[in-house]
Each structure stands twice: as C-alpha cells, then as structure tokens.
Amino acid sequence: MLFDYLGLSWHSIRNRKLRSWLTILGVVIGVTAIVTLISIGQGIQDSILSEFEKLGYNTVTVLPGNFDTQRGGFGNASAGSDTYLDRKVVEGLDRVKASGATRTETGLIQSEKLDGQAFLRITGMSQTVLTNFDDYFNGFQIEGGELFSFGEAANEVVIGSGTAEELGVTAGGVIKIEGQEFTVSGVLKSDDESDGGFNFYGDLDSGLFVPFGTMDKLYGGGDKASLLLVEVFEDADVSQVATEIEDAFTAKDIASTTITTEEISNRVNNVLGTIQIALAGIAAISLLVGGIGVMNTMYTAVLERTREIGIMKAVGARNGQVLRLFLIESGLLGLVGGTIGTVVGIVLSLFAGRFIDQALSAPFAPSFRPVLIIGAVGFSFVLGSISGVLPARQASRLQPVEALRYE
C-alpha cells in the first residue's frame, strides 16, 4: 500500500520538476548547514578530547599556582608562573602509582655555527615521563642519534629539529647551555602535531630537552618542577586523588592546580556542546525556511490538482487516503532534500576538514555519527510531512463534486 502511494507521489513530484527541485533545494540548504556544522563541531570536540585522552583517564596533571581552571587557564604550564612544584610531594601519596616531572626554563644557548647566542626553551624531564606518560611528548621520537642517559652525569641534550637547524648542529655535535658544554645525543623527529596546538609541552621542534637532574645542575632548585604528571592506581578515584594532591601542596604552602582528563573532557564537552547547539539552532532556522517552502509548494499542488483529487475521490479514494497521498508527497520532498543535503554536508565538511586540519595542531576529521546522518535524513522527512499536514488536510476535505468542477 505504502509503495503504491509512494509511486503516485513520486509521479507528481517528477511531473513538476523545476518547482519540486527548488523546494527540495530549500531543504537541502538547511540540512547541509546542520550536517556540516555538527560534524565539524563534533570533529573538533573529538580531536581535542583525544589529545587529552592520550594522557589517560587515570592521570592527574599538576600545575603550579592557582589557575582558575574554570576559566580554562591550563594552556601553558610554564607561562607567567614563577612558582614551582616540589616533585617529592606527590611521590609520598598512597594511591599514586607513578609520577613524572618536567621543569622548563629559558636557557642561554650558544653554538659554533650560531652567530652570538640564543634564548631557547629548555625542558628537563624525569625518566618516568617517557616510561609512564610516553604520549605526553607525543612519543618523543628521536630521528638522529639517541636519547640521553638519565642516570649518568654526562652533559647530554636532545634537541628539536628546528633547534638543530637554528644552532647548526646534528647528533654528536656540541653546544653550550648556560656556558656549560653539552653533547647533542639526539635530534627529535619533526613533529607536525606540536605547532601551537592542544598540548602542554608546546612546540617539540623548537625545544631542548635534558634529564630532570640536569636542570638542578644548570639552575639549582633540586626537585623544583613546573609540571607533574601523576598516574593513579586503576581502582582509585582520580578526582579524589587530585584533591589529596592539592591538599598536600597546600600543606607545604605551595599553590597548585590539578587537572584530570575527566574534568577536561567534561568541560570541553560542555563548552563545545553549547556552541554546537547554538550553531545547530541557527542552521535549524534555514531548515525551517525549507519547511515553509515545502508547505508553499504543497498548497500550490493542492490547488493545481484539485480536479485530480476530485477524480481520485470519484473512483473511491477516501479522505484519509488523499491525506496520506499528499503527506507522503511532502514527506518525499523533505526526504529527498534531506538525503541530498546530508551528502552535500558530508562532502562540504570533509572539504572544510582539510583546512581545519591545517589550522589545528591536532589531527582533525569531521565526525559523522550515525545518529547525525539518520537524524538529519529522518528529521527532514518528518519536517516535510509536517509541512504537508495543512495542505494535505485541505486536499482531503475537498468535496468531490466541487473538486471535479474545478477548472
């Protein structure tokens, strides 16, 4: 039965091609806007979250100072903070499985090839950062040479590819940090992802990296750290441990801020979710306009086909059947528009995704959740049908005799 009606509806849509396509276009634009905006928004959200999820859900990140994380001030660990953390504080805690520490300073660097001297970011890291939190430095992949040895007292440094270029050294070369000679043990692989994106460590390409202990030799301060990564035992309540860590620092009179992956993902979800709803709302307005277009077309169709309706009634069509016929027809306009709009939206956001991928540091791909695709197509069918309710009712209530007389 339904297929018979579909056939009849499809017939009449095809019969007034231009008007049908223009009406469908109205729906297409609305659906395209919705699919594009939501899939890109969702993609950005996924991309940001995946960056944080690299740290794992049982990791607590500790920053010095009282950041108001409510306002999203977790951007750069070393920025504008002259307080330090004490890495010993977290090591004593019960539910801490492992902890890693980094300390970042601006170092005075000299090399033979370099004309004069440079001030570059130098980061010290504990071995555990690489063993337990290897995603933190994006794998810390060394392309030329090898990693410095943590235990030994030798002055060794690993440098980023950009730094290597700037200083004119390769693995095995020698540079001076704060006047002391260091051997470049390795050069990092150029990191596409690290240029200005969603990570704590900043740009891997332009940094210098030494063992944590070396920082003490260069700058003093012992266990002073500018960022701590704390791995909590799997069965522990991460946010509770985070509070314990803050309390432990407070007891030592050190201001600290903890960030958990869960907290971040909640906040990112909240903020981006709100933005997405706002964008979808705007797109929904264009879809509404599309719906009004369908209604307009259907009213015209009812007028045009008054006589046809009369004929159908004369040969036995009931009011409900005429109603259904017109509802399916308007639903089809919506469905076709929704399907095309979804496809165009997918193509458009894949296209836009390439640019966003370049603009964002993190790898980005628009996210097409099944619920979005099914929802967009389904909703446009419903929208079309709803837009057709009034015209279809008008059609179904026509008196057969009068409808047949209509010229």
Partner 1 sequence: MGDAMIELTNVKKGYLMGETEVQALRGLDLKIESGEFVAIVGPSGSGKSTLMHIIGALDVPDRGEVLLDGRDISRYGESELAELRGKKVGFVFQTFNLIHTLSSLENVALPLTFQGVGKEEREERAADLLEMVGLGERLKHRPAELSGGEQQRVSIARALVNEPEMLLADEPTGNLDSDTGEDIMELLTSLNRDKGMTVVVVTHNPRDAGYADRTVNMIDGMIRNGRESDGGH
Residues that bind partner 1 (CB under 8 A): 1, 3-5, 8, 11-12, 15, 307-308, 310-321, 399-401, 404
Q: Considering beta carbons, is residue 5 or 84 the nearer one to partner 1?
A: 5
Q: How far is the CB of 316 from partner 1 (least distance, A)?
A: 2
- Considering beta carbons, is residue 240 or 399 the nearer one to partner 1? 399
* Nearest Cα residue to 109 out of 123, 96, 93: 123
271 vs 314, beta carbon nearer partner 1: 314
Nearer to partner 1, 309 or 360 (CB): 309
- Smallest distance from the beta carbon of 392 to partner 1, in angstroms? 15
Q: Cβ distance 365 to 353 under 8 Å? A: yes
> How many other C-beta atoms can be found within 10 angstroms of the C-beta atom of residue 196?
10
Shortest approach of partner 1 to residue 326 CB, angstroms?
14
Can you say whether the dihedral through the CA atoms of 236, 239, 245, 251 is positive or negative? negative
What is the C-alpha to C-alpha distance for residues 396 and 317, in angstroms, rounded to an integer? 9
Smaller CB distance to partner 1: residue 1 or 18?
1
How far is it, in rounded angstroms, from Cα 112 to Cα 270? Answer: 51
Minimum CB distance to partner 1, residue 27 (Å): 23
Residue 212: DSSP 8-state:
H
Q: Which residues pair with 96 in a beta bridge?
A: 232
With a CB cutoff of 8 Å and minimum separation 6, the contacts of 278 are none
- In the complex with partner 1, the residue whose CB is nearer, 280 or 404, is 404
What is the four-CA torsion angle of 232, 233, 234, 235, rounded to 10 degrees? -110
- Residue 18 vs 251, nearer CB to partner 1: 18
Q: How far is the CB of 300 from partner 1 (least distance, A)?
A: 16
Sequence length of the chain is 407
Tokens 């009606």 -> residue = 5
The Cα–Cα gap between 377 and 359 comes to: 30
First to last CA, the chain: 30
Q: How far is the CB of 332 from partner 1 (least distance, A)?
A: 15
Q: How far is the CB of 365 from partner 1 (least distance, A)?
A: 45
Q: What are phi and psi of 101, to 5 degrees?
A: -130, 145
